[in-house]
Structure 1
Amino acid sequence: MDFVNKLDTDTSLSILSCLDDPSDLVRASAVSRSWRYFVIKHSLSKNLCFKLFHQLTCVDRVIETSNEESSSGSSSISLIDDDTTLLEREHRAFALLAKGCTSSPIRSCVADAIIASSTDNFPAESILNTLDERDKIGATPSYWSSTGHHETSVPETLLYKLKGDICVVPEFSIHPFQAYFQSGTPIYSSHYVRFRLGHLDNNSQKKNNYVWTYTSQQFPMAQENRLQNFKLPEPVLCIGGYMLVEFIGRVQTQETDGLYYICVAHVRVMGRSLAKSFRLVDPDESGKFGLKVVSYCDPKEMGETEEEEVGQRSFRQMNNLDQLLNFLNRHPIDVEYVWPESDDDAESDGEV
C-alpha cells in the first residue's frame, strides 16, 4: 500500500519526518511521482536542514548560478502551485546542503590569518606563524606573541578566515608556544580560550564589522607544550566563514621585563567545508542571508586532494609579495652559494 496516497497528510508527514539521513529523503523523492510531489511540497529536505542546524533558518532565499541548473532535475509532474519553481529549487539546494553538512570530508578549515589584537614584534611574531604546524622553521622559532601587560586580565584575540562561507566545525585546537630559548623554557598559554563564528557585514557603515552568530563556552587551557583540542558539545555551522579566537587571562611573565604575554605556535580547525558548493549572499546584522548554489556535484567528490592540502599549508602565507617578504623576514634563510667555475677561470688557473 502507498501510505502517502492512502493516509492523511499529517500522518504521512510524521512518518517521512523520521528520516534523518539526507540520502534517504532523496531516495524517498525518487520512489514515485506522488512521493516526489509530497517531499517537495512539504519542504522535507529544508526541514531536515533546520533540524540539523538551526542557523539555517536564517536563509531567506536560494539562488542558483544559471537558469539551466534551475531547470535541470525538475520533476515531470505538474505542480499547479505558483511556488513550484521555488519549492523545487529549495529541495535541490537543501538536499545537497544536508548531505554536505553530514558527509563531506573532514579537513583543515583555516584558509588564512587576518589580524591579531596585538603583536609584540612584527613580522617575526606575526599571526601568520600560527598557520604552520611547526614551532620552528629551520632554526627560527615560529609563533605569534602578544604585547606584554602588567595586568593578567587583558585579553587577546586572533581573527581567521575559514575555507568557505559555510563550514561545519566540531572542534578547535590550540598549541601554546614554549619559549625554548628563554631561561626555564616558559609556556605562554592563557587561562581560558573561547571561539566565535560569524560573518562580515558588508552592508554596515562600519569598516570590518563582524557579526558573531555563535560563541562557545570558555575552555580551560593547560600550560603544556602540546596541541590542545577543544571539542564543542555538538558540531556548529559557521555561516560566513570567519572565526575569532579569544584568549582570556594571562599566566606567564617574561623574565626580562616582568610582563605577562600570550604566545601561540599553531591554531587548527578541523571540519567540513562546503566552499565548492555554496556561497553566502548579502548577510546582514539581523542574520538573514541568501544561499547561492555554486555546484551540485557530490560533496564527497569536491574535497581537496592530499597534494593540494600540502601545497596550501606550505604556501598559504605567500599569497602576495608582501606576505612573501614578511615570511622571509620572520624566517631568514642563510644560504651559502657555490658558483661553478667558468671556462675562463679554469684556463687562468692552468687547468684544462
Structure 2
Amino acid sequence: MEESKCMDLLDWVGADAAARVLMGLHDPADLVRATCVSKSWCRFVIANGFCKKLCFRMCPEVSIFTHVIEESSSAEDVDVGSSSSDEWASMEREHRVYSCLSHHLSSHLAKADCISEPIGASSTDNYPEESIDYTLEPTDRVELRPSYWSSKGEADPRVPEKLTYRLNSNLCVVTEIKIQPFQAYFQIGNPVYSALAVRFRMGYPRLVQEAATEEHRPRQEVTDGDYIWTYVSPEFPILQESNLQSFKLPRPVLCIGAIVQIELLGRAQKQDIDGLYYICVSHVKVIGHKLAPLFDSNILHNNRNPTLKYFPDTQGSATPETQETEDRLKSGWQAFAMRIRELRWNRAILNTLLGAIPIIVDDYNDGPDEEPWL
C-alpha cells in the first residue's frame, strides 16, 4: 500500500490561520513548544516575532524598548535592529530575549517587598519626625513614638498627596501594593487619617541630573515634572481603617526605571485642633519580584532609544538567599556525617571492650553520594 505523503500542518492550514492561532496563545511555553514541532514552525514563530508580541500584550509598557541587547560570553553583543547585524540572527536573538522575558512576566515567583528606599513626599507636616521614611518601618513605633508619615493640613479635602519610592531593581514585576492608614490613638476618638482613594504610577526619572541629586533634596519635596510614567493604575477606594490594605493591580506590571508613586486622593479626616484635613500613612509595601540579574534596562534620558539588556549567563545563578540556604544545608550535612562517624567509632570501641567481634569501620567521605548509616 502506498504511503500517503506527509504534509506540514502549517502548509495545510495556511500562514494566516496559523498566525491567528499562535497570536491567541497566552502561555509563553506554548510558543516555545511550537518552535519544536519542525524547522518550518520554528522559523515561522521566530520570523513573526510572536514572543515579542506576547510580551507586549502581557505588559504594554514593554513596548517602550526600541533596542534589545544580549550580553553573553558565548556570543557577540549585537544591537538588534542595527544595520551591521544579520537580519535572521537579530530575529533569533529577539525570540530568545522575549521568550525568556514573557516567561518571567507570567511566572509565579516568590513575591516580596521591592522597595529599596523612599524618595520623597509632596508635603510633610513635621519633618523629619513625620517623614516618609517611617512608612517603611516594620513596627508601629520607633523610639517610643508612633511611626508614620503625615501630610500638611489642608482646608480643602480634595487636595491630593503623593509618596514616591525607589525599587530594588531597574526592572520589577509588581502585582500589588499595600497601604496602612494611620490611626491617631493619642487623639480623642482615635481618628484614622486616611485618604478616600489611591492610584499608582510607575516610571523613571526624567533627567539623569535630577536623579543624581535626589538624595540631597529634602525628602518632602517631589514635583510632578521629575518623572516619566510608563504605567498609571485605575483608582482604588481605601477603607477608613487602620489595617494593611492590599490593592491588587489588574495585571502584573513591569516597572521600568524603579520608581513607584502612590497618589492619595481625597481626605477623609479633619483634625479637631486646627480644623484642617490630613492624610497619614503607617506602612507601604510594593509586592512583586525583580528581574535582575537576568534582565536590566538602560533608560537613555537624552534620546528616544531605551534599551532592554539580557544576560543569559546569569540564568540559574544563585541569589544571596539561595546561596545562604545551600551553605546552611552543606554545613548541616557535614555536621550530620561527622556525628554518624563518631557513633560508628563509639560502637566499635564498645563492642571491643565487651569482647564482641570487632567491627570494621569505613571512613566515609562528606559528600552527599555516600550513605554513612549505622
Q: How far has the Cα of 1:116 moved from its partner?
A: 0.9
Task: Give 1:144 deviation, angstroms.
Answer: 0.8
Q: Percentage identity across aligned positions?
A: 43
CA distance in 2, matches of 1:96, 1:297: 12
Match in the other structure for 2:122: 117
Give the TM-score, by structure 1 length. Answer: 0.75
Shift of 1:244: 0.9
How do residues 50-129 of structure 1 correspond to structure 2 at under 5 angstroms? 50-66=56-72, 68-70=74-76, 82-103=86-107, 104-129=109-134
Question: Which residue type is aligned with residue 111 of structure 1?
Answer: S
- CA separation of 1:6/1:250 partners in 2, compared to 1, >3 Å: closer, same or farther? closer
Correspondent of 1:160 among 144, 150, 165: 165
Residue pair 2:72, 2:313 contacting (<8 A) in 1 also: no
Deviation at 1:174, TM superposition (A): 1.0
1:100 is aligned with what amino acid? H
Equivalent of 1:265 in 276, 282, 297: 282
User: Is the 8 Å Cα contact of residues 197 and 213 (structure 1) preserved in structure 2?
Assistant: yes
Q: In the alignment, is residue 198 of structure 1 matched against residue 214 of structure 2?
A: no
Change (3 A) 1:269 1:205: closer
Matches for 1:148-297 after TM superposition, within 5 Å: 148-202=153-207, 209-284=226-301, 289-295=306-312, 297=314
Supply the distance in 2 between the matched residues of 1:268 and 1:36 (Cα, whole angstroms): 42
- SS of residue in 1 equivalent to 2:44: helix
Q: Distance in 1 between the 2:40 and 2:66 partners?
A: 27
Q: How does 1:305-324 map to 2 (within 5 A)?
A: 305=321
Change (3 A) 1:237 1:149: same
Deviates more, 1:214-223 or 1:288-297: 288-297
What runs of 5+ residues in structure 2 fail to find an aligned partner?
1-6, 78-84, 214-224, 325-374
Give, in whole Å, the separation in 2 of the partners of 1:8 and 1:92: 25
Structure 2 residue aligned with 1:316 = none
Retained in 2: the 8 A contact 1:177–1:189? yes
Structure 2 CA distance for partners of 1:307 and 1:125, relative to 1, 3 Å: farther
In the TM superposition, structure 1's runs of 4+ consecutive aligned residues that sit over 6 Å from their partners are 203-208, 301-304
SS of the residue corresponding to residue 193 of structure 2 reads coil
- Cα shift at 1:302: 6.7
The offset of 1:102, in angstroms, is: 0.6
Whichever residue aligns with residue 110 of structure 2, its letter is P
Q: Match for 1:40: what amino acid?
A: I
Q: C-alpha deviations, 1:51-70, integer Å up to 9, x for none?
A: 21222222211012246345
> Contact 1:201–1:283 at 8 Å: present in 2 too?
no
Deviations 1:219-262 (A, max 9, x none): 22221111122223333332222111111222223333333221
Alignment correspondent of 1:318:
none
Q: Structure 2 length normalisation: TM-score?
A: 0.71
- Distance of 2:171 and 2:322 partners within structure 1: 21
Structure 1 residue 211: Cα displacement: 0.6
Moved more, 153-162 or 15-24: 15-24
CA–CA distance in 1 between the matches of 2:282 and 2:313? 38
138, 144, 152: which one pairs with 1:139? 144
Quick check: 1:135–1:177 contact (8 Å CA) kept in 2?
no
Shift of 1:105: 3.0
Determine if contact 2:199/2:235 at 8 Å carries over to the other structure.
yes
Deviations 1:118-151, CA, capped at 9 Å, x for gaps: 1222222121111123222363311111122233
- Aligned residue identity for 1:128: D
**Secondary structure of 1:68's match?**
coil
* Greater gyration radius: 2
Counterpart check, 1:23 vs 2:39: no
Instruction: Give the counterpart letter for 2:31 in structure 1.
Output: L
Q: Paired residue for 2:50?
A: 44
RMSD between aligned residues: 3.1
- 1-structure distance, mates of 2:25, 2:155: 57
Deviation at 1:176, TM superposition (A): 0.3
Change (3 A) 1:171 1:303: farther
Does the C-alpha gap of structure 1 residues 273 and 284 become closer, same or farther in structure 2, counting only changes over 3 Å?
same
The code of the aligned residue for 1:82 comes to: D
Aligned amino acid, residue 56 of structure 2: F
CA positional deviation for 1:273: 2.3
Amino acid at match of 1:220: P
Shift of 1:287: 7.2
Write the letter of the residue equivalent to 1:13.
A
User: SS at the partner of 1:177?
Assistant: strand
CA distance in 2, matches of 1:237, 1:82: 30
